[in-house]
Amino acid sequence: MKANQISTGKIIDGKEVFALELKNSKGSYVTIYNYGGIINNFVVTNAAGDKQDIVLGFDDFDSYLSEDYLENYPYLGVIVGRYSNRIKDGQFSISGKSYQLTKSLHGGESGFDKKVWDILPTVDPSLTLQYISPANEENFPGTLTVQVTFKLSEEDELTLDYKATTDAATPVNLTHHSYFNLETHGGNVANHHHRMPASNYLAQDEEYIVTGQVLPVEGTIHDFRAGKAIGKDWDPAEGYDQSYVLDTPYGELALASETTAASSGLKLEIYTTEPVAHFYTAKYLNVEKAKGGKDYHPFEAFCVETQHAPNSVNIPGFPDTVLMPGQTYTQTTIFKVSK
């Protein structure tokens, strides 16, 4: 069955915005907007037999466009690109030529999260979105064609397969920015149990810019290798906003994180082919009148953003993020829910 398409009635930049729903026979479903690739719902059955939505978002599409939301914009559930996280001073060089981007987060002032993606025909029970980013958009070189395919399995695995090609050398570092909360009634995520197979993390400066220094997690608050409550070692005023180097060889699909919540009995495992997972516990989250009329506050969600290292375009020796003509960027990330 193809994704069910429901029009939102909105036309943005001449393109219609749809809500697209993927379902499985267990009654689990995912709702995705072709605006920003937003995962608006990810509904599964918890240990008590109740339906539970594990991602943050809104009850209606219009709220994603509201001034109040955009003023303190947290990138709820979006595709991030061309370049996730931060590039130092918004600058990089390719083959001796320097480029200056808007100094901002997650791809610029109007990144992939604010674009209406085309819906491509598919033969499987899946959804493929495509966006063609023109040369010099947000000052990035090259025309970049990006496709992201979403597929929901019978085992409640939501797979995201990314593919991108370019006609000129350009940095590419894509991720998805879903905010998760596995507790039955939401709230602070400090009691979620979290595990990450990462023996090292990446040093950051005062602006959260990755410096290139790789540090061991052993003996620090960043050691999640054996698993622990998210709030066990954190500074409750800061939480986590940190990139971790996964122990698995780059390119091999393997576990990036495993998170559970006692109240729901749910477990979320995230698998990826990417070398880094950025773990963020939503320090800056501040959203009013979200799903069910609830307000979202700091530390009431967590994100695991699978990607290459932030700022790696400026760090020799880190896995390369420059895509060349004739090459194809690929990435797979899987969100698997069980109980």
Enzyme catalytic residues:
177, 305
How far, in Å, CA of 196 to CA of 277, rounded? 9
CA dihedral 114, 115, 116, 117 (to 10 degrees): -120
231 touches 190 (CB < 8 A): yes
Joined together, the tokens standing for residue 152 give 């929901």
292 touches 190 (CB < 8 A): no
Q: Which residues pair with 51 in a beta bridge?
A: 45
322 CB-side CA count, 13 A: 14
Class of residue 228 by CB neighbours under 10 A (exposed 0-12, middle 13-18, buried 19+)? middle
